Amino acid sequence: MLVSEFLDTLSGYDIAGAYWVNLKLTAFAAVLALVLGTALAMMRISPVTSLRWAGTTYVNVVRNMPLTIIMASMILVLWPQLGLTLADDFATNFFRLAVIALAVYHASFVCESIRSGVNTVPVGQAEAARAIGLAFLPAARLVILPQAFRGAIAPLGNTLIALIKNSTVAAAASVPEISVLMREMVENDANFVVPIFLTIAVGFVIIVVPVGVLTTYLSRRLAVSR
Amino acid sequence: MKSTRVALAAFAAVGALTLAACSTAEPGAEETDADAGEEMTDDGEDAGDEGGDSGDMETLRIGIKFDQPGLGFQDGGDYTGFDVDVALYVTEQLGYSADQIEFVEAPSAQRETMLQNGQVDMIFATYSITDERDEAVDFAGPYFVAGQDLLIRSEDAGTITGPEALDDLNLCSVSGSTSAQRVKDEYAAGANLIEQPGYSECIQFLTGGQVDAVTTDDIILAGLAAAEGSGSLQVVGAPFSEENYGVGLPEGSDLCEDINTAIQAMIDDGAWEAAVTANTDGTGYTPNADLNPPEMRGCAS
């Protein structure tokens, strides 16, 4: 009786649509963070001192800053005070600002994951690459990074899982994702507060568990056998 | 090697201290919780049997907003606002003196839970009476009828006259709130909506020029405008919804009738109107005269 009433309530909301927004945020932010994080990791292992210093500083500053602060500074400082507008449309603008905040934050974790992957590559590989005359960039591209990525799949998967869940922080940037929908549901249907929370939590479990299973499988499958 | 050992010992010591802190703190917390539960049941019985005798020193926990100037606002150790004024008047009529009242913050999303768990005895926190909420908790009142309205910069008065005039303009509201939902469903076709976690961000955008209007219930807007102080913001005064602010009570509470009587007394002796005026001072705001002062809707069962 009460259950069917609750399901009726649920059907009044576009829950799948709201999760879809989270997945889109995650997808765009993950690609950007991977690119930026890889570049940072290259900087941190490069032979140029100033690049190493810049990479280390970025990681230490951004990794130790709460994501909410980064998100809020996008929407409260960069957009209104510095006039950073990424689209004429309000909603698209906020979506892009949120993606950038997520990417900037998670890039530092991606960088550290890749660096942990680099540490799985024996020093002899780098020395051999040097010995056959490869400069830093070709050596990284052809020898180090392919092995490093295969060793970094598990930590990268953890970062992706964190990113999926952190995408709810985009609510602070006015992106209508699942946590905003949850607030609406609690506001309108206060008699079902606990079931609403559980439903949203279960939704995240359904999204995150396959990602965990897949990355564990891939990290075993693709591990470099030495 | 030696330094590792020292570090380990230090770490262990810190860990032990932290754990010790936990173990001493927890029973205390449980005790106060249990006490709160007992007090709750005591309150109910007393109020029923003796109509709230003021002789004993038990406290009444009242849930209010802490962050809405003009309605429920924590100002240092003091609490100000219309909700607070009504709460103090009503509880005085019920036989509680001001020092028996403990104000507790009741954020919107937690109001039902706080009543159901007995964390508060009643809630005066811009709590609109709706059918869904009525299933979870009881309501006395209403003590005010608000309506969704727009807050604009004073220089825009005359151009922005209501929600229909919002085409191509930027609008701010609090994410998840009923007002944001109504705007999205009915008026957002032409307007750009930005949803923020709180009204202070919206006010910042409004004064900074990023948005042209902030929307929520008129009396909340009036309180925000009064807090802003300079007279640069004003409420449009064309409400387009009806929100009946009720007093939230735990389900099955027997205080409802007494509270309704007290609210009626407050309206009759002029204290109600004085409280509205005092809390929206300097904004030129007047509540919707067709619906205010409100009629008590009577208590269920």
DSSP string, A198-225: HHHHHHHHHHHHHHHHHHHHHHHHTPPP
- Find the largest Cα–Cα distance for chain B: 82
Band of residue B227 on the pLDDT scale cut at 50, 70, 90? confident
Q: Does A193 contact B112 at a Cβ distance shorter than 8 Å?
A: yes
The phi and psi torsions of B264 (rounded to 5 degrees) equal -60, -40
For position A211, what pLDDT does the model report?
94
A182-186, B1-5, B41-45, B143-147: lowest mean pLDDT where?
B41-45
Of B135, B175, B181, the CB nearest to A191: B135
Mutation target vs B (from A74, A92, A174; most B CBs, 10 A cutoff): A174
For position B264, what pLDDT does the model report?
92
DSSP secondary structure string, A154-190? HHHHHHHHHHHHHGGGGGGGT---HHHHHHHHHHH-G
Band of residue A2 on the pLDDT scale cut at 50, 70, 90? confident
Query: Which amino acid does the sequence have at A150?
Result: R
A39, containing H or E segment? helix A15-45
Rounded Cα–Cα distance for residues A178 and B123 (Å): 28
For position B188, what pLDDT does the model report?
61
Is this prediction's ipTM beyond 0.85? no
Mutation target vs B (from A187, A194, A198; most B CBs, 10 A cutoff): A187
For position B18, what pLDDT does the model report?
53
- Cβ(A167)–Cβ(A71) under 8 Å? no
Q: Does B196 contact A174 at a Cβ distance shorter than 8 Å?
A: yes
Q: Please compute, for residue B247, the number of CA atoms within 13 A of its CA located in the half-sphere on the CB side.
A: 33
In sequence order, what are the residues at sequence separation of 6 or more whose Cβ sits closer than 8 angstroms to the Cβ of residue A30?
A: A106, A160, A163
More confident residue, B21 or B88: B88
Chain B residues whose beta carbon lies within 8 Å of the beta carbon of residue A170: none
Has residue B28 got a pLDDT over 60? no
Q: Does A132 touch chain B (CB under 8 A)?
A: no
pLDDT tens digits, A96-132: 999 999 999 999 999 999 999 999 999 999 999 999 9
Chain B residues whose beta carbon lies within 8 Å of the beta carbon of residue A182: 176
Chain B residues whose beta carbon lies within 8 Å of the beta carbon of residue A195: none
In sequence order, what are the residues at sequence separation of 6 or more whose Cβ sits closer than 8 angstroms to the Cβ of residue A106?
A: A29, A30, A33, A37, A159, A162, A163, A166
Strands of the sheet containing B148-153, edge to edge, are: B192-196, B170-174, B213-217, B148-153, B233-235
Chain A nearest-CA distance from B130, in A, is 8
How much of chain A, in percent, has pLDDT values that exceed 70?
100
Band of residue B13 on the pLDDT scale cut at 50, 70, 90? low
